[in-house]
Amino acid sequence: MLLSNRFVLLNKNDVNKFPGSNHRVVESALRLLRSRGVDVQTTVQEGYEGAAIINDYINRLGSNQRQKNDTLQSLLTDAQKNLLHIGELEWIQKDERACYWLFYCILFHLDDWLLNKPYGFCPVKEMNLHFSPSNSQGRFQQIVNFFDRCGSDLEWQRSLLAKMQNNWSAIYTARKPLRWLDRNNESQCKWAWDYLYNTRWQKNTPSIAGLNPTGCRETYLAIYAAFDSWVTEPEFKRLFLNDFNRAWQQKKHRDNRQGKKACNLVLREEVKQKLDAMAAARGMKLNQLVETLIENEHAKTIQLK
């Protein structure tokens, strides 16, 4: 669950309880307790599970109820202060392509961003992230988890986020690769993914490690994630895209020729000129016009029999 603007302690019989409705705040509080020497787990499946751990710890404190309530309130306040507001990540949430790119970079290209990791930075493999969410919402949640669990202060998080946003702006404003690729064309997306898969071991090709999309929309986004996250020389990218686009055009040409045979005819020059004029008048290609004329004459012949 994402961070809201207001988070209120539960109160029952003048005893405050840490609520479990906001998963981010609950985990933030658990991390604070761990940093203060309390032996608690810092990631939980459900917010209510973590809230129970916090409330159990507070109840075992050797102090009166007022002091316990003050401790709980202080913990809540500090937990909220340690989290980015969700609005700061809005540019990621609103753009599925940006979301997939950033998620993929965090999992497989983070070292390119973090040449000097800050003290206390938590390795990605220890953040308990879900590495294969099935949709954009799931990927966005893992990006939020990354920032929440990275172990660095908000200033550093905002600096990294700004760097990522600037990099994405450069990618997004550049000429879009594979402009022919239609996110709603299942066979086209499957062909494009198969091409990436079959060339994955060649030199100077985008990595698809960790990508295993299912469905047309996810395949489309995964293809762009591979290209967007590919850090290489512009010339290598240009050459690969040329080969990719050429292969697609060749496939289209082969598909268009299915069920067709070449037919070479020698016509008088004036007949060819008339044929060209007829095709132009009807807005047709020559082969389309010839097929139409033959089909029409054939239909008339059948009727006469």
CA–CA gap between residue 183 and residue 146 (Å, rounded)? 28
Residue with the larger pLDDT of the pair 268 and 166: 166
* Percent residues over pLDDT 90 in the chain: 64
- pLDDT-derived band at 283 (thresholds 50, 70, 90) equals confident
Residue with the larger pLDDT of the pair 263 and 133: 133
Question: Where along the chain do its domains lie?
Answer: 10-81, 86-173, 186-257, 269-304
CA-based radius of gyration for the chain: 30
- pLDDT-derived band at 305 (thresholds 50, 70, 90) equals low
Per-residue pLDDT, averaged over 220-238, amounts to: 95
Per-residue pLDDT, averaged over 73-96, amounts to: 96
pLDDT the model gives residue 206: 95
Is residue 296 over pLDDT 80? Answer: no
- pLDDT-derived band at 9 (thresholds 50, 70, 90) equals low
pLDDT the model gives residue 259: 60
- pLDDT-derived band at 1 (thresholds 50, 70, 90) equals very low
Our measurement of the distance from residue 9's CA atom to the centroid of its chain's CA atoms, rounded to an integer in Å, reads 35
For residue range 119-171, list pLDDT tens digits in order.
888 999 999 999 999 999 999 999 999 999 999 999 999 999 999 999 999 99
Is residue 34 over pLDDT 50? Answer: yes
Q: Which of 9-18, 73-82, 94-103 has the lowest mean pLDDT?
A: 9-18
CA–CA gap between residue 73 and residue 14 (Å, rounded)? 13
pLDDT the model gives residue 82: 95
Is residue 6 over pLDDT 60? Answer: no
Per-residue pLDDT, averaged over 174-184, amounts to: 92
pLDDT the model gives residue 4: 42
Please check whether residue 168 is in contact with residue 113, taking contact to mean a CB–CB distance below 8 angstroms: no
- Give the mean pLDDT of the chain: 88
**Under 8 Å CB-to-CB from 100, ≥6 apart: which residues?**
136, 139, 221, 222, 224, 225, 228
- pLDDT-derived band at 7 (thresholds 50, 70, 90) equals low
Is residue 63 over pLDDT 80? Answer: no
pLDDT the model gives residue 110: 87
pLDDT the model gives residue 164: 95
Q: What is the 3-state secondary structure (H, E, C) of the chain?
A: CCCCCCCCCEEECCEEECCCCCHHHHHHHHHHHHHCCCCCCCCCCCHHHHHHHHHHHHHCCCCCHHHHHHHHHHHHHHHHHCCCCHHHHHHHHCCHHHHHHHHHHHHHCHHHHCCCCCCCCCCHHHCCCCCCCCCHHHHHHHHHHHHHHCCCCHHHHHHHHHHHHHHHHHHHHCCCCCCCCCCCCHHHHHHHHHHHHHCCCCCCCCCCCCCCCCCHHHHHHHHHHHHHCCCCCHHHHHHHHHHHHHHHHHHHHHHHHCCCCCCCCCCCHHHHHHHHHHHHHHCCCHHHHHHHHHHHHHHHHHHHC
- Per-residue CA distances from 173 to 176, 177, 228 (Å): 8, 11, 12
Is residue 267 over pLDDT 80? Answer: no
For residue range 86-123, list pLDDT tens digits in order.
999 999 999 999 999 999 999 988 887 776 778 888 99
- pLDDT-derived band at 58 (thresholds 50, 70, 90) equals very high
Residue with the larger pLDDT of the pair 266 and 252: 252
